[in-house]
Copies of this chain bind each other. A is one copy, B any other.
Amino acid sequence: MTSFVQDQWYVAAYAREVGRELFSRTVCGESILLWRTRDGAVTAMSDRCVHRRFPLSEQPSHLAGDTVVCGYHGFTYGADGVCVAVPGQTRVPRTARLRSYPVAEQDSFVWVFIGDPARAEGTRIPRAPWLDRAGWTVVSGMEPLAARSSLLVDNLMDLSHETYLHGGYIGTPEVAATPITTEVDEEAGIIRVSRHMADAECPPFYADSTGITGRITRWQDIEFTPPCLYVLHSRIAPAGVLPNPDGTDPDAFHVEVVYAITPETESSTHDFWAVARDFALDDEAVSEYLAKSNRTVVLQDVTALDALERVIAGEPDGHQELSINIDTGGLAARRMIARMAQR
C-alpha cells in the first residue's frame, strides 16, 4: 500500500514545462507522461507502454501528430491513452490502453489527479491565483528534494527556522522570537499559522526588493491546504503602518510565497516555489534579485532536508521527537495528512 494521500490533485509541472516534447514526471510514485496536443491541450497518461513497460518518455519514443509512438516496438497511443496501432497485425487488442490521468491547468501549474479518476471532478483544486493574475509579477522554479515530503511540510509550517537557517536572507531575530497563532479549519481542510511582528528588522530579501531602509511591520500569514499547496501571505510595511479600516493597504508591500509540495517517491519530493509581488511589477532587476534570493533560500532548505532524510533513513524507527510551541502548525498538518491518507 502506498502512503501517499489518494484522490487529490497534485502539481505535476509548470504549464510552461509541458509542450510538444514528451515530458515525464513521477508523482506519488506514478510515472506520468505529459504532452500537449496540436491544439495545445495538456494530456497526462502512464509513462509505461502496455506491451513491455518501456518508458514512453524515453528516446526514441516520440510524438507523431496527436499520438505517442513507443520507441521500443512502435505501440501507438492517442491523447486519451487508447492504443491505436501495434506492430505486425492490424487488430489492436481492446484492452490496450494506458492509464489516463485527469489533468487541469490552473494558476500557472499543470495539476494531475492521483487516485480514482471518478472522484476528480468533485475534488477541489487548491488555488494560488496570484501566480497568473494582472497586477502581480512572479518568479518561480522547482528544486528536486531528496527527502520525504513531510520534512518539507514541517519546514514550511514553522518559519522560526528562517532566523537560523536563512539568516542574512529572510531571517531576523524577531521571527524566532515572535509567538504564532494557529488555526485549523477542518471543514475547509486548511491550516493557518500567523506571526505578526510589529517592529522588526528588515531582512535583505525585503529591503533590497522594496527599498525600505528602516524597521518594518512584518506579517507572515500561512495558509496550507494539505496535502500539497502552501501559501505564505507576506506583508511588509514601514513600522507602524497598518491596513486601512476598509481593507485597502496602499502603503504596504505584499508578497505571496507559494509552494507546491509534490511527493515524487517515499523519500523524494518536487519542491515547486513561486514568489508573487504587487510592487515593482516591471522592474527586471527586482525580479532577478528575488528569483536568485528565493532559490538560494530554497536550496538552503534542500541541503538541510536532504541531510535530515539521510539521518532518518540511516537510523532506527521510533525516535522520539521533542515538540514545542513553534511546532503547533506542523503537528496539525501531520495529523490532517495522516487522516487523509487513511481515508
Which residues of chain A have a CB within 8 Å of any CB of chain B? 31, 48, 50-55, 58, 60, 69-74, 86-89, 93, 95-96, 154, 158, 160-161, 163-165, 167, 176-180, 304, 307-308, 311-312, 315, 319, 321-326
Contacts and interface: CB of A to CB of B under 8 A. Distances in A.
A87 B176 contact: yes
A71 B304 CA distance: 9
Contact of A322 (B50, B88, B165): B50
B325 A89 contact: yes
A321 to B, nearest CB: 6
A45 to B, nearest CB: 15
Contacts of A74: 160, 163-164, 176
Nearest to A168: B60
A273 to B, nearest CB: 19
9 contacts: A51-B323, A51-B324, A58-B304, A60-B164, A71-B165, A71-B304, A73-B164, A73-B326, A88-B324
Contact of A86 (B51, B71, B89, B324): B324
A311 B180 contact: no
A180 B87 CA distance: 11
A79 B269 CA distance: 36
A73 B158 contact: yes
A73 B325 CA distance: 12
A88 B325 contact: yes
Given A72-B161, A89-B324, A161-B73, A319 B60 contact: no
Contacts of A163: 74, 87
Please name the 9 residue pairs, one residue from A and one from B, whose CB atoms are nearest each other, closest first: A87-B176, A50-B322, A87-B160, A88-B326, A74-B164, A73-B161, A89-B325, A58-B307, A53-B311
A88 B321 contact: no
A96 B322 contact: yes
Contacts of A154: 52
A53 B326 contact: no
A88 B178 contact: yes
Given A52-B154, A87-B164, A88-B176, 16 more contacts: A31-B311, A50-B321, A51-B321, A51-B322, A52-B308, A53-B312, A53-B315, A53-B321, A54-B308, A72-B161, A73-B164, A73-B326, A87-B176, A87-B177, A88-B324, A89-B326
